[in-house]
């Protein structure tokens, strides 16, 4: 099946999120983090986008992300539950919900603090990705271990 066109216009974070998510193995790794450990896909992608820009996140930065995107993330969760329940129903309903969920994720990106302006400038390196993910996991996936952050970083960075 052909993947839907995803509009990457808008925030730099949304553009990064789409690129990261489309890397081989990234979708599976992010969804595993979400389903197994309660991780937040958009928060994880935001943390990686900040690291790409050489920005070291603090827990205050992550709190700001969660607060500013709360309503949009709740809508993503609601639509995800509906879409998952619709897997056994008509393909048309499932596809419509999938598009709505994607639009809600784009709303999260538009409400997120600009990833290139948060945190402290440090310069990009792989360790910064891991560090940003761990700071994010503290708030959304407290059972996630360093191994998950390392694995996700390796998967998305290649």
Q: Which two tokens stand for residue 141?
A: 């996936």
The answer to whether the pTM exceeds 0.85 is yes
pLDDT tens, N- to C-terminus, the chain (158 residues): 334 434 444 588 999 999 999 999 999 999 999 999 999 999 999 999 999 999 999 999 999 999 999 999 999 999 999 998 888 777 899 999 999 999 999 999 999 999 888 999 998 899 999 999 999 999 999 999 999 999 999 999 87
pLDDT given at position 157: 87
pLDDT given at position 9: 44
Assign 55 to helix, strand or coil. Answer: strand
pLDDT given at position 5: 39
pLDDT given at position 7: 45
pLDDT given at position 123: 86
The C-alpha atoms of residue 84 and residue 82 are separated, in whole angstroms, by 6
H-only helix segments in 1-145: 12-21, 26-37, 41-52, 59-68, 70-85, 91-111, 126-140
pLDDT given at position 155: 95
Q: How many CB atoms lie within 10 A of CB 20?
A: 21
């Amino acid at each position: 099946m052909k993947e839907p066109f995803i509009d990457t216009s808008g925030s730099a974070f949304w553009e990064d999120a789409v690129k990261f998510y489309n890397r081989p193995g990234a979708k599976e790794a992010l969804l595993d983090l979400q389903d197994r450990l309660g991780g937040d896909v958009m928060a994880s992608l935001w943390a990686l986008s900040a690291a790409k820009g050489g920005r070291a996140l603090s827990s205050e930065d992550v709190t700001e992300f969660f607060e500013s995107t709360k309503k949009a993330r709740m809508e993503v969760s609601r639509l995800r539950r509906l879409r998952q329940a619709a897997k056994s129903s008509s393909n048309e309903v499932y596809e419509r919900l999938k598009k709505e969920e994607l639009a809600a994720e784009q709303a999260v990106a538009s409400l997120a603090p600009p990833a290139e302006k948060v945190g402290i400038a440090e310069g990009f390196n792989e360790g910064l990705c891991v560090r940003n993910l761990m700071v994010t996991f503290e708030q959304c996936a407290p059972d996630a271990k360093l191994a998950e952050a390392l694995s996700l970083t390796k998967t998305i960075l290649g």
